[in-house]
Amino acid sequence: MPDAAKAQSIREPLQRHDLLLIDPAAWDAVIRSSAFAAHPLLAGWSARGWPVIVRRRQPGDASNLTPIGVPFPPDMNKQRISLQVPPTAILSRYRPPPLADTVGAAPDAWRETLGDLCELGAQHAVNPAPFGSLLWQALTGLRYLSSASDLDLLWPLNDHHSIPALLAGIAAIESTAPMRIDGELALLDGGAVSWRELAQALRHDGGQEVLVKTREGAMICSTTALRIASPT
C-alpha cells in the first residue's frame, strides 16, 4: 500500500495512473448499483484497503463522477472493470509507488533488470514507477504476473535530463531483459507518450508525430511541440 505520507491533495486535478482509496461504504453502494454486485473480489476490494486507478474518461461517463478502473488477475481472465465513483467517495490519492519499492513482488528472473532500470532512473533523476501487473501484484498480493507478462513503467519527466539518452538506456536494458519493457514518459503538462514510439520518432529529423494520452482522451502531437522539458 502506498505510504500515507505521500498522499496528494484530492483537490488537485486527477491524472491518469493516480491511485485512489475509496470509502468502503461508498464503494459498496457503487458496486451494488453496478453489473458486478455479485462478484466477491470486487465487493470486498475497498474494504481490503486496495486502491483503484484513474482511467481515461469514456463516452457515456457522467461528468460529475470520477472514472476509475479495477484490473483483475489472469486467473479471472484479466478482466478490466470500468466504474465511476462520486468525488466525495475518494479518501486519498497517490501516484504509483517507485519501482524500487515493488521489486520484492517481482519474479526472481526480473530482479537484475529492475535493478538496472532503477539505476538508469537515478542517472537521469527520473524515478520510474510500475503501473501494470507488477504494480497490482505488489499492492494486492494477488497473482498478476506470469512468464508472459510485460513490465509497464511510467517515467515522470523533469527538466534536468537528456530524453534521447534515457530512451537509449531503456532500449539497451530491454535488449537483454527477460521481459518486454513497455510504458510511457509522463510529460510536464500531464500528458504521456509511449517511450518506444517517442524513441522511434526522434530517430527521424523533425516533425514526427506521436500519440499523446491524457485523462480526457488522446491526440496526435508533433515531437517538436511536446512539453518534454522546461525552457532553459
Q: What angle do CA 176, 182, 188 make, to 5 degrees?
A: 125
Provide the domain limits for residue 144: 99-225
Active site residue 152: yes
- Tell me whether residue 232 is in a domain: no
Does 59 lie in the same domain as 14? Answer: yes
Does 135 lie in the same domain as 21? Answer: no
Active site residue 150: yes
Where does the pLDDT of residue 197 fall: very low under 50, low under 70, confident under 90, or very high at 90 and above? very high
Among 46, 68, 94, residue at a domain's last position: 94
Does 216 lie in the same domain as 128? Answer: yes
Alpha-carbon gap, residue 144 to 76, rounded angstroms:
10
- Tell me whether residue 230 is in a domain: no
Does 219 lie in the same domain as 112? Answer: yes
Q: What one-character DSSP code corresponds to residue 148? A: T
For residue 21, what are the CA distances in angstroms to 24, 91, 211?
9, 5, 30
> Structural domain tally of the chain?
2
pLDDT tens for each residue of 152-169: 999 998 765 688 999 999
Of 7-16, 68-77, 138-147, 213-222, which has the strongest mean pLDDT? 138-147
Say which residue, 129 or 201, is predicted with more confidence: 129
Among 38, 61, 94, residue at a domain's last position: 94
Alpha-carbon gap, residue 161 to 168, rounded angstroms:
13
Of 23, 116, 150, 182, the active-site residue reads: 150
The separation between CA 146 and the C-alpha centre of its own chain, rounded to angstroms, equals 19
This prediction's pTM: 0.87
* Cα four-point dihedral sign 51, 57, 60, 64: positive
Of 3, 152, 189, 205, the active-site residue reads: 152
Among 94, 126, 159, residue at a domain's last position: 94
Beta strand residue intervals within 58-159, DSSP E: 66-71, 80-85, 90-94, 129-130, 151-156
